[in-house]
Amino acid sequence: MTMRQDLPPPADRDPARIFEYQRAETWADAVELLGIWDDEAKILAGGQSLVPMLNLRLTYPGALIDVNPIPAAEPRVEDGRLVIDANTRHRAVAAAPAVRAHAPMLAHAVSFVGNVRVRNRGTFGGSLAHADPTAEIAAVALATGGDIVVLGPGGERTIPVDDFFVTYLTTALEPGDVVTGARLRTAENARWGFHEVVRRYSDFATVSVSALARPTGGRPDLRLVLGGVADRPVVVDRELLGPALDAPGDPVRARESAEAIAASLDPATDLHATAGYRRRLVAVHTRRLLQRVLGDEGGAA
């Protein structure tokens, strides 16, 4: 290894600030390396968000800790929970029999993440930890419920999905923590629907709506999650779902819920959509999903 700092950048390109590259063979390695780098390192998982950010010179980590050498087991059910390892690629999540059987909405939504190359490289844990407020996986994980499994300097612990997403690109992870996987509630008999509105196919969602209704003796246990309307995916307040739940499948009551939900939001206006347009999208897609998921049709969307 030599130091040659006088080397001019190739062509006119702004050189990335050089980073140290280290491979982690286990999650414990990754945690140890994060400790050694003391806040200067980033975990490199699938790299489908991080590497573009580095290419665009938006972030300058001192080191990248590549967790790709850490194997991921096939998604599986353990103790009544659907277990998905962090390094499971999106393509593998979408194809896994356990996911298709126990979390069909997740298998469906993952096929809309990025493009085929993103799905070949991007990972389940990477998407969760990146915490983009429009991300499909975050929204569906939240609608499904369960725990994120985290390894840190103090050992392994779990964080409920409900508490995991804090704000833009920020989670409840502490600086020395890594996501090693998730244990989601299973949803094999649930009715579900997932809608996302995109400006261009494969783009980030302007708004996404995920609805999951688990059967119970009485009214179904319904969770509705909205993406793209706040600094994180948000679970809709149960009270607002009341009208739709009172009269399952009734278009008028579904509209009542959907419009109350849309009115309760304070989304951002940006280049892609105004706040008003986002509320309108929420109202329309929520109404359609509530009607379908609670009505007789259920199933996919």
Partner 1 sequence: MIRTQVTLRVNGDDREVWVRNDRTLLDVLHDDLGMPDVRYGCAEGVCGTCTVLMDGEPVSACTLYAVQAEAHEIVTLHGWSDPRREPHPLQTCFLERGAAQCGFCTAGMLLTAATMAERDPDAGREEIRHELVGNLCRCTGYQAIVDAVEDYLHADGGDA
Strand-pair category, 155-160 with 146-152: antiparallel
The whole-angstrom distance between residue 88's C-alpha and the CA centroid of its chain comes to 13
The length of the chain, given as a count of residues: 301
Q: Among residues 151, 142, 171, which one has the least CA distance to residue 67?
A: 151
DSSP secondary structure string, 210-272? EEEEE--SSS-EEEEEEESSSSS-EEPPHHHHHHHHHSTT-HHHHHHHHHHHHHT--PPP-SS
Alpha-carbon distance of 275 to 131, in angstroms, equals 21
Q: Smaller CB distance to partner 1: residue 101 or 198?
A: 198
Quote the least distance from Cβ 113 to partner 1, whole Å: 11
Q: Which is nearer to partner 1, 13 or 216 (CB)?
A: 13
Instruction: Please count the CA atoms within 13 angstroms of the CA of 283 that sit on its side-chain side.
Output: 15
Which tokens is 29 given? 């390695």
- 48 or 291, CB closer to partner 1? 48
> Which C-beta is closer to partner 1: that of 9 or that of 217?
9
Q: State the nearest-atom distance from the C-beta of 65 to partner 1, in Å.
A: 12
| Residue with smaller CB distance to partner 1, 157 or 199 | 199
Phi, psi (5° rounding) for residue 225? Answer: -125, 135
Q: What does the binding site for partner 1 look like in residue numbers (CB under 8 A)?
A: 1-5, 7, 10, 15-16, 18-21, 44, 47-48, 51-52, 54-56, 64, 66, 68, 91, 111, 114-118, 120-121, 201-202
CB of 201 to partner 1, least distance (A): 5
- The secondary element (H helix, E strand) that includes residue 44 is strand 41-44
Question: Closest separation between CB of residue 53 and partner 1, Å?
Answer: 9
CB of 132 to partner 1, least distance (A): 14
Q: Which is nearer to partner 1, 12 or 201 (CB)?
A: 201
Q: Which is nearer to partner 1, 51 or 252 (CB)?
A: 51
Report which residue type is found at 228: G
Tell me how far, at minimum, the Cβ of 203 lies from partner 1, in Å: 9
Q: 3-state DSSP: the chain helix, strand, coil percent, rounded to 5? A: 35, 25, 40
d(Cα 69, Cα 217) in Å, to the nearest integer?
A: 46
* Least distance to partner 1, CB of residue 242, Å: 37
